[in-house]
Amino acid sequence: MRFLYVMDPMCGWCFGFQPELEQFLSNYPAAENNWVMGGLAPDTDQPMPEELRQTISSYWYEIEKKSQVIFNHDYWQLNTPYRATYLACRAVIAAERLQENSAQKMAKAIQSAYYQQAKNPSLQETLVACAYSIEIDGDEFLKALNYQETEVLFQQHLSITQQLRVSGFPALFYINEENQAYPLTLGFCHAALLEQRFSHIIEN
């Protein structure tokens, strides 16, 4: 049994979805889980425009109402936000290269730094600290983060995202033995509904 999860560690809805995802996957402990970095926003060194800051910060309140998570709203006062998530995506891929099956741990570490500790995950130093928190050597991680091979892998992740026609996150798929992908959700969803949809796919 295999599930494929397309996400971005800097996507607020993915943070809101994380408890639901974990609850659903806990029912299938033997399943293979593949994490794909969807890439929400390309690299930029330009600070986020004020209008966009207000829009995204307002989403956090909306996500809190629909999910089990709480955001640290101090982030917006303590940081210079950038609309750049590709580095955080590469960080998850780099962590996975250095430590097998660490993609989920690294994504959660980035989410914790960003949404709970009000740290800026668009900065390398934040991502190095996240790697260190899951027991990956900081120097090794920094090298891996900037390897060309990591960028090549990230482009493969973006290609998978396009092939699956994912235009928003989170997106969870069931992959059957014939390698066909069945969407369980394209967007935020509660665990009970994921279970219902998965049961329907299996029965049919």
d(CA 24, CA 40): 24
Which residues are bridge partners to 175 per DSSP?
2, 181
Q: Tell me what the pLDDT averaged over the chain comes to.
A: 96
Q: Does this model's pTM top 0.85?
A: yes
15 pLDDT higher than 90: yes
204 pLDDT higher than 90: no
| pLDDT tens digits, one per residue of 57-82 | 999 999 999 999 999 999 999 999 99
Question: What's the token pair of residue 6?
Answer: 């397309």
| pLDDT tens digits, one per residue of 86-145 | 999 999 999 999 999 999 999 999 999 999 999 999 999 999 999 999 999 999 999 999
179 pLDDT higher than 90: yes
What is the domain extent for residue 44?
Answer: 2-203
Cβ burial 9-33 (10 Å sphere, 16+ → b, else e)? bbbbbbbbbbebbeebbeeeeeeeb
| pLDDT tens digits, one per residue of 115-124 | 999 999 999 9
Question: What's the token pair of residue 182?
Answer: 């069945």
- Indicate which CATH number applies to the domain containing 158: 3.40.30.10
d(CA 7, CA 193): 19
Q: How many domains, the chain?
A: 1
